Amino acid sequence: MSLVEIDGSVLEGGGQILRTALALSAITGRPVRIYNIRAKRSNPGLQQQHLTGVIAAAKISNAQVTGAVKGSTELVFKPGRIGCGEFRFDIGTAGAVTLVIQTILPILVFAPCRSTVMITGGTDVPWSPPIDYVRFVMLPMLGLFGVKAEVKLVRRGHYPRGGGEVVMTVEPSKLRPVEVVEFGDLREVRGISHAVRLPAHVAHRQANSAREYLVKAGVKVPIDIAVETYEQGKDPHLGPGSGIVLWAVSSKGLVKGADALGERGKPAEVVGEEAASKLLESLRSGMALDEHMGDMVIPYMALAGNSVVGISRITLHALTNIYIVEKILGVKFEVSGKEGKPGLIRVFHA
């Protein structure tokens, strides 16, 4: 098959281009050359988390790879036959395990048998989906497409120490097209507020703050935010760290999420309010998917067949994913709406 050339600096110009290109290359068997990798970032090229994604994709798809070294801005990936079974990948830093999941989950959907993958690194770190978003928002929404996967959280990992551990199980799945435009009526809000290697009141204050913010804004459905804390001296995490993930469930069974991370000097109340504010903004759009899910579903839409989704905010991430998917799969997307605003995304197969 002819080599697909991909400029890693287009549009958003970040690691998303690499992750999507690797996944689609492995699934289609089409080799790719990605250059200018993360060229727009202050630390361009492959960082440890990206490198782990490359290694994981290569191992699962029995690929030949050149340029898979830290700092590399060019990579050639020639996939072989997709394998399955048990895998283990250690990022070695607080790099996001969820972004490695983003890379390999689509590939394992097309594997010939069930796979179990253990990944070690950061589970709740900046610039990436928290693990609770993946467990309670991303996977249920990908389930609409027929994806059968589960992620178990063994231990949390925060920046800068990492040390988090998750286990993902994926069953081979036949994808199906979806049409989800409107969210429907709000039925409940759920969430998890956690604090590790920190006083327990941090997690409680995050949860209380989020709940109060939603109630003051007029949310009248049940709000159930679980609090995850540990006794002093019995905390298994490296930590310290805290965060909260909220998700809203609709009358149609759709799920939207929002999150916020704690950081030094940031009051727990601000963390809770930040997540609640993001969730409310997404709900007010009336669209089926939140903005993060809006970019994550793009490859699945294209692989499943003619689909249409409504997203609360069209992002540069989504437009970037569309560009890469069109380039590799030869499908055509149509975006109704402006960047930064709610809109519809459709995909058509020739």
Annotated binding site for ATP: 102
Our answer to whether residue 201 is catalytic in this structure is no
Nearest by Cα to 325 from 298, 307, 343, 304: 298
- Cα–Cα distance between 244 and 228 in angstroms, integer? 10
Bridge partner residues of 74 (DSSP): 35
Bridge partner residues of 344 (DSSP): 310, 336
- Token pair of 248, please? 């809203």
Enumerate the H helices of 185-231 as residue ranges.
200-216
Looking at 278-327, which runs of residues are DSSP E strands?
307-311
50, 194, 317, 349: the active-site residue: 317
Tokens 């989504």 belong to residue: 318
Evaluate whether 154 touches 165 at the Cβ level (below 8 Å).
Answer: yes
Tokens 């601000």 belong to residue: 270
Query: Which H or E element spans position 33?
Result: strand 32-35
- Cα–Cα distance between 14 and 6 in angstroms, integer? 13
Evaluate whether 126 touches 104 at the Cβ level (below 8 Å).
Answer: no
- Cα–Cα distance between 100 and 122 in angstroms, integer? 11
Q: Which residues contact 205 (CB under 8 A, 6 or more apart)?
A: 267, 268, 269, 272
- Cα–Cα distance between 45 and 69 in angstroms, integer? 9
Q: Catalytic amino acids? A: 317
